[in-house]
């Protein structure tokens, strides 16, 4: 709720990774809808379960919750095929599809993909996507994306579908301000860091004379919630350690948000075997973990989330993690019922 006692006005979403079974994912989507969540996002990861097949299954099992890939990319899927997939999902769900886009990374090496010129790729992908949804023939000769006389062979349910850009890059944030309907900011719980991204979004908005209200600003949070607070913290220590190792050598964003990795952790950079991640999780300071993710019991998670709230935030998306032997459904329910009820904005 807000500080004056009125209902909180942050829209809520749940993001589920494609390592979960389809039946479990559908049940999590139904649970999210029953709890009043607005969005359900499902990851699009190369060599994992096919994103749009699973989203189609969810569309058949739900009625109101918005459905989106969280997120797809402009490299491994041609944006024209993404337009086909989203338009089909939109038809299956009676107008509930949303497009989430990011530059991607996982699986690119195996597929021989080099993600060049990400700003141009994103800009061109969105132009192709939006052009095809209008029902018109589209030709684009871009720096990264090309399409010659492409057109959908069916009429989309809607000619406009919201486009969200997910990023922790400042130039991509600026692009989002220029052309996107929403932006996901991830991996930070520091409002000062969030503000750095907001500043870039505002630059983009100003370039196109767009009002602030024309873009949703969302925070994607990862959380492990359990009555066993230490076990939850250990889950997220390993999660953050593995993610930072996987980003090597692109650690400049950490310095910009005032975070410094220990020298012994830095020495492990670029390595991502199970034993290395275990060592890294022991080395990473809890300060860095708490700056990026939420962990512990409901009280601790609510305290951490409250500190992260920024006045420009319009959306929160939860990626839940569970302590071994506990369920994701319990994490989602606890977050919505016990954590969000304590948050003031």
For position 271, what pLDDT does the model report?
Answer: 78
In a domain, 120, yes or no: yes
Contact assessment for residue 213 and residue 222, using Cβ atoms and an 8 Å cutoff: no
In a domain, 143, yes or no: yes
**What is the per-residue pLDDT across 66-120, written as a single tens digit (0 to 9) for each?**
999 999 999 999 999 999 999 999 999 999 999 999 997 788 989 999 999 999 9
In a domain, 270, yes or no: no
In a domain, 166, yes or no: yes
Task: List the one residue out of 57, 77, 205, 59 whose CA is nearest residue 129.
Answer: 77
In a domain, 89, yes or no: yes
In a domain, 140, yes or no: yes
**What is the per-residue pLDDT across 282-312, written as a single tens digit (0 to 9) for each?**
999 999 999 999 999 999 999 999 999 999 9
Helix (H, G, I), strand (E, B) or coil at 64: coil
In a domain, 279, yes or no: no
Q: In this structure, what CATH number is given to the domain that contains residue 103?
A: 3.20.20.30
For position 6, what pLDDT does the model report?
Answer: 37
Helix (H, G, I), strand (E, B) or coil at 145: coil
pTM of the model: 0.94
CB count within 10 Å of CB 109 equals: 10
Question: Hey, what are 308's tokens?
Answer: 């992260």
| Residue 206, domain extent | 11-221+300-342
For the chain, which residues score pLDDT lower than 70? 1-8
Find where tokens 């969000």 sit: 340
Total structural domains in the chain?
A: 1
Instruction: Give the whole-angstrom CA distance, residue 320 versus residue 335.
Output: 9
For position 5, what pLDDT does the model report?
Answer: 41
For position 249, what pLDDT does the model report?
Answer: 84
Instruction: Give the whole-angstrom CA distance, residue 91 versus residue 76.
Output: 24
In a domain, 190, yes or no: yes
């Amino acid at each position: 709720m807000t500080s004056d006692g009125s209902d909180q006005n942050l829209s809520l979403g749940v993001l589920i990774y494609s390592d979960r079974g389809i039946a479990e994912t559908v049940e999590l989507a139904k649970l999210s809808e029953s709890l009043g969540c607005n969005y359900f996002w499902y990851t699009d990861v190369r060599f994992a379960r096919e994103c749009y097949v699973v989203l189609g299954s969810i569309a058949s099992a739900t009625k109101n919750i918005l459905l989106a890939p969280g997120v797809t990319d402009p490299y491994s899927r041609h944006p024209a095929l993404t337009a086909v997939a989203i338009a089909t999902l939109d038809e299956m769900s009676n107008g509930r599809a949303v497009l989430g886009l990011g530059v991607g990374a996982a699986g690119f090496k195996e597929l021989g993909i080099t993600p060049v010129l990400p700003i141009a790729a994103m800009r061109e992908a969105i132009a192709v996507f939006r052009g095809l949804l209008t029902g018109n023939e589209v030709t684009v000769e871009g720096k990264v994306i090309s399409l010659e006389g492409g057109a959908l062979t069916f009429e989309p349910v809607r000619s406009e579908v919201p486009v969200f850009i997910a990023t922790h890059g400042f130039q991509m944030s600026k692009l989002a301000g220029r052309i996107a309907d929403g932006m996901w900011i991830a991996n930070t719980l520091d409002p000062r860091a969030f503000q750095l991204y907001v500043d870039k979004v505002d630059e983009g908005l100003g370039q196109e004379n767009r009002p602030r209200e024309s873009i949703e600003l969302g925070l994607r949070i990862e959380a492990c919630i359990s009555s066993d607070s230490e076990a939850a913290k250990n889950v997220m220590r390993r999660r953050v350690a593995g993610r930072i190792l996987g980003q090597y050598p692109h650690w400049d964003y950490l310095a910009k948000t005032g975070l410094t990795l220990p020298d012994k952790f830095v020495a492990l950079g670029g390595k991502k075997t199970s034993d290395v991640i275990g060592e890294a999780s022991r080395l990473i300071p809890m300060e860095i973990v708490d700056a990026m993710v939420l962990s512990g019991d409901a009280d601790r998670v609510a305290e951490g989330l409250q500190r992260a709230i920024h006045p420009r935030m319009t959306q929160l998306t939860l990626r839940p993690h569970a302590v071994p032997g506990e369920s994701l459904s319990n994490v989602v329910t606890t977050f919505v019922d016990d954590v969000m009820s304590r948050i003031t904005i």
